């Protein structure tokens, strides 16, 4: 079987937006991939080479054992790295993937792009990249001048009423404008096409979009989630092997780097905190409204613990609800103690507490009440079990969920 990727068409949607439509055929069924970009960047598109589409479809095709047949050329370097290194690497540790054939005319072009970019989510990884390769970068040709917000599945897509995506655009645009960076945003249905878990595919999806803009970007820093010391052959999250992956999907024109991969999370937060106007934009939350950290979710908890372990209480108060942290500190510390063995972020925080001689309260070792985000995870896990699936079909489903949540809340107030 094969996946046929046909020549794209470029359609002007409005005065401000342009859509790249990529027809493809799989199992004799015609479908369409699309990317929506700001019209002012249309002249930088490299839609006539297949680099973006091949990287975006790679896992999809390898899982289904679909050979790719391309009606447009593919960059020579990308073809070489995919066939000689990346695909053999992926199949060596994932038995569900297959090495596939890619049939295409190969080209080697020189687009002479000059811009350098990174993503802007206002999280620890993105802000540390902006400091490290923006404010502190000494090599001018490697210095960040453009920030991006690329929607490849994390926020949903416009076909699914992507309110999350539109909500984040303003925050990212405001940051870029305040700090004098160019700003670029792209939406796509790529994640819907891929039908893949976002964590296992996020690097492929994001870089697919960037490979459409090889006339614009010469260097792009993909914010690393882990240090290079954490490199793991683990398919659950592409961040585990980003250092290798990003080199394999770079081309003659666009070089990807796993940024700050030599700096741990404690070091990143410390670096950001040195720049007050950058730190005031720190937003790590997975639950709160934009620009407001809820202080309850897992990302908020691990960031608050990191700040606490460095004795950065004023910084903690600036970006988080300190009264919530004080109230649940023992509970959060207990979570750290339980997970420092299998989560590098909590291991770093624990080591930092020890290094700074901050005593962990005796009661923290015996806090039995789970954190708010743990309770939600427990409930979701139960509802996905056989019994949970049976309950979901019943008329009392919503009342049951409300009852469970009420029990957790009442117990939490007493503890």
* Span 127-143, pLDDT tens digits: 999 999 999 999 999 99
User: What phi-psi label fits residue 34: left (phi over 0), alpha (psi between -120 and 50 degrees) or beta?
Assistant: beta
Please, are residues 108 and 75 in contact by the beta-carbon 8 Å criterion?
Answer: yes
Q: How far is the C-alpha of 244 from the C-alpha of 258, rounded, in Å?
A: 9
Please, are residues 190 and 37 in contact by the beta-carbon 8 Å criterion?
Answer: no
Residues whose CB is less than 8 angstroms from the CB of residue 114 and which lie 6 or more positions away in sequence, other chains included:
141, 218
Residue 155: Cβ-neighbour burial (10 angstroms; 0-12, 13-18, 19+) = buried
- Domain ranges for the chain: 2-107, 284-366, 374-414
Closest CA to 215 of 404, 394, 31, 46: 46
* Span 145-173, pLDDT tens digits: 999 999 876 655 444 445 666 778 889 99
On the question of pLDDT at 206 being above 70, the answer is: yes
On the question of pLDDT at 240 being above 90, the answer is: no
On the question of pLDDT at 222 being above 90, the answer is: yes
- In degrees, rounded to 5, the angle at the alpha carbon of residue 398 between the alpha carbons of residues 396 and 402 is 115
How does the average pLDDT of the chain come out, rounded?
A: 89
Q: What confidence score (pLDDT) does residue 54 get?
A: 98
On the question of pLDDT at 221 being above 60, the answer is: yes
For range 307-311, the mean pLDDT:
98
For range 260-271, the mean pLDDT:
96
DSSP 54-104: HHHHHHHHHHHTPEEEESS-EEHHHHHHIIIIIHHHHHHH-TT-----EE-
For range 367-377, the mean pLDDT:
77
* Span 171-180, pLDDT tens digits: 999 999 999 9
């Amino acid at each position: 079987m094969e996946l046929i990727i046909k020549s794209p068409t470029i359609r002007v949607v409005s005065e401000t937006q342009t859509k790249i439509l990529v027809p493809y055929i799989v199992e004799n069924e015609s479908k369409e991939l699309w990317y929506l970009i700001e019209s002012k960047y249309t002249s930088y598109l490299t839609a006539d080479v297949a680099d973006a589409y091949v990287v975006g479809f790679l896992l999809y095709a390898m899982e289904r054992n679909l050979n790719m047949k391309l009606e447009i050329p593919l960059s020579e370097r990308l073809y070489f790295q995919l066939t000689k290194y990346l695909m053999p690497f992926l199949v060596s540790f994932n038995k569900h993937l297959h090495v596939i054939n890619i049939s295409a005319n190969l080209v080697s072009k020189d687009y002479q792009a000059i811009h350098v970019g990174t993503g802007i989510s206002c999280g620890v990884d993105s802000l540390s990249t902006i400091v490290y390769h923006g404010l502190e970068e000494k090599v001018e040709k490697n210095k960040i001048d453009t920030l991006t917000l690329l929607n490849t599945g994390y926020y949903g897509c416009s076909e699914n009423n992507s309110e999350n995506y539109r909500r984040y655009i303003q925050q990212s645009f405001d940051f870029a404008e305040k700090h004098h960076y160019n700003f670029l945003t792209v939406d796509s249905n790529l994640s819907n096409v891929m039908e893949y878990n976002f964590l296992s595919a996020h690097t492929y999806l994001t870089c697919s979009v960037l490979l459409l803009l090889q006339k614009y970007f010469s260097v792009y820093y993909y914010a690393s989630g882990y240090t290079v010391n954490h490199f793991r052959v683990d398919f659950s999250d592409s961040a585990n092997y980003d250092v290798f992956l990003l080199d394999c999907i770079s081309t003659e024109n666009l070089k990807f780097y796993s940024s700050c991969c030599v700096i741990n999370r404690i070091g990143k937060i410390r670096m950001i905190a040195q720049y007050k106007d950058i730190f005031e934009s720190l937003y790590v939350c997975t639950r709160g409204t934009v620009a407001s950290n809820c202080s309850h979710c897992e990302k908020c908890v691990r960031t608050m613990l990191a700040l606490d372990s460095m004795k950065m209480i004023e910084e903690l108060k600036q970006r988080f609800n300190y009264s919530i942290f004080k109230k649940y500190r023992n509970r959060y510390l207990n979570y750290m103690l339980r997970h420092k063995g299998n989560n590098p972020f909590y291991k770093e925080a624990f080591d930092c507490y020890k290094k700074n001689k901050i005593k962990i309260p005796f009661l923290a070792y015996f806090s039995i009440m789970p954190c708010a985000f743990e309770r939600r995870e427990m409930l979701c896990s139960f509802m996905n079990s056989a019994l949970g699936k049976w309950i979901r079909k019943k008329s009392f489903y919503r009342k049951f969920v409300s009852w469970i949540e009420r029990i957790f809340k009442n117990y939490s107030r007493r503890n």
